């Protein structure tokens, strides 16, 4: 809100920023599949970023370890996959399929309005990373989750082939940025839903 105080002076009265607002406890679940360790390193960066948000309780699990209660207890879920033939790996797809087949979340849309984000690693610079993040987003959208980006335009990603730097500090920085953004956004929506 702008308050005019005379010809030359203007006071800027601002609403509290997210950082100034009271911390809201949010549960962030970071889930990943990884065979050769690249996506796992990114998952640790995501976790670190999410934990930097005041009030965030962050759980890190491999896809096969997740049970229905992990998902039900979460306010936000961030899913990471290696790019396999320009899409998510079979393990990550099975994880999403289980939201219907095993966990009973889809029919009553129990993931509705929870926050979602995606991260991926792929060997080549341009061989399916963005379309894989979108495939993860699509599965979340079908479950009526709210998708946010961070780290990159679609989420966090890294190129891991032999000619690339692999999971370097820049890639980890993008992972931390996604984790932080998702946790922040989950706190904003949770705070908003209480008013």
Residues of this chain that bind ligand FMN (CB under 6 A): 34-40, 82-86, 121-124, 127-128, 160
- Beta carbon nearer to ligand FMN, 12 or 153: 153
| Residue tagged 């962050």 (tokens) | 58
Per-residue tokens: 190: 């949770």
Contacts for 74 with CB less than 8 Å, ≥ 6 apart:
27, 28, 29, 59, 114
What minimum distance in Å lies between the beta carbon of 170 and ligand FMN? 15
3-state SS assignment for residue 193 = helix
| Closest residue to ligand FMN, based on beta-carbon distance | 122
What minimum distance in Å lies between the beta carbon of 186 and ligand FMN? 25
Per-residue tokens: 74: 């979460």
What minimum distance in Å lies between the beta carbon of 166 and ligand FMN? 8
What minimum distance in Å lies between the beta carbon of 168 and ligand FMN? 13
* Beta strand segments in 63-192, E: 76-82, 115-122, 146-147, 156-159
- Beta carbon nearer to ligand FMN, 55 or 166: 166
- Beta carbon nearer to ligand FMN, 135 or 177: 135
d(CA 93, CA 108) in angstroms, rounded, equals: 20
- Beta carbon nearer to ligand FMN, 179 or 186: 179
Which H or E run contains 114? none
| Residue tagged 């100034």 (tokens) | 20
What minimum distance in Å lies between the beta carbon of 62 and ligand FMN? 11
Q: What is the DSSP letter of 129?
A: H
- Beta carbon nearer to ligand FMN, 40 or 184: 40
Which H or E run contains 61? strand 56-62
């Amino acid at each position: 809100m702008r308050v005019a105080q005379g010809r030359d002076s203007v006071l800027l009265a601002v609403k509290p920023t997210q950082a100034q607002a009271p911390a809201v406890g949010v549960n962030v679940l970071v889930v990943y599949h990884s065979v050769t360790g690249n996506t796992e390193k990114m998952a640790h960066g995501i976790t670190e970023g999410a934990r930097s948000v005041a009030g965030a309780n962050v759980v890190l699990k491999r896809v096969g370890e997740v049970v229905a209660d992990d998902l039900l207890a979460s306010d936000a879920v961030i899913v990471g996959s290696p790019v396999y033939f320009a899409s998510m790996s079979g393990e990550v797809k099975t994880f999403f399929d289980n939201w219907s087949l095993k966990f009973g979340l889809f029919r009553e849309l129990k993931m509705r309005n929870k926050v979602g984000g995606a991260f991926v690693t792929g060997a080549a610079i341009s061989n399916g990373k963005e379309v894989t993040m979108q495939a993860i987003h699509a599965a979340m959208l079908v479950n009526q989750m709210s998708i946010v980006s961070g780290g990159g335009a679609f989420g966090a990603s890294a190129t891991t082939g032999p000619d690339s730097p692999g999971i370097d500090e820049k890639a980890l920085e993008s992972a931390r940025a996604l984790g932080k953004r998702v946790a922040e956004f989950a706190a904003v929506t949770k705070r908003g839903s209480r008013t």
